[in-house]
Amino acid sequence: MDTPAKDFKFMWDAKRQAIWLTTALALVSFVAYREAHDEAGVFDAGYFALLEVIFLLVVVIMFYIYSRKKP
C-alpha cells in the first residue's frame, strides 16, 4: 500500500533528479562550449555536439545503473 510519505519521497527523488540533471547539463554545456574553440578562437560545433553526446551517454548509463531494482 502506498503511503503519503512514500509518495512524497518519490516526488522529491524525481524533483531532485531533475534539478541535478538540469544543473549538470548547464555546467557541462558551459565547459564544452569553452572547450569547443580551437587555437584561432573559431567555434567547432561538431566537437561541441560530440562532447554533449558523450555527456548524455554517461548520464543515461548512470541513470540505468542506479535505477535498477535492488534485490
Write the pLDDT tens digit of every residue in 34-56. Answer: 999 999 999 999 999 999 999 99
Q: Higher-confidence residue: 66 or 48? A: 48
Residue 30 and residue 46 in contact, taking contact as beta carbons nearer than 8 Å:
no
- CA within 13 Å, CB half, 26: 6
Q: How far is CA 7 from the centre of its chain?
A: 24
The model's confidence at residue 10, banded by pLDDT at 50, 70 and 90, is low
Instruction: Give this prediction's pTM.
Output: 0.69
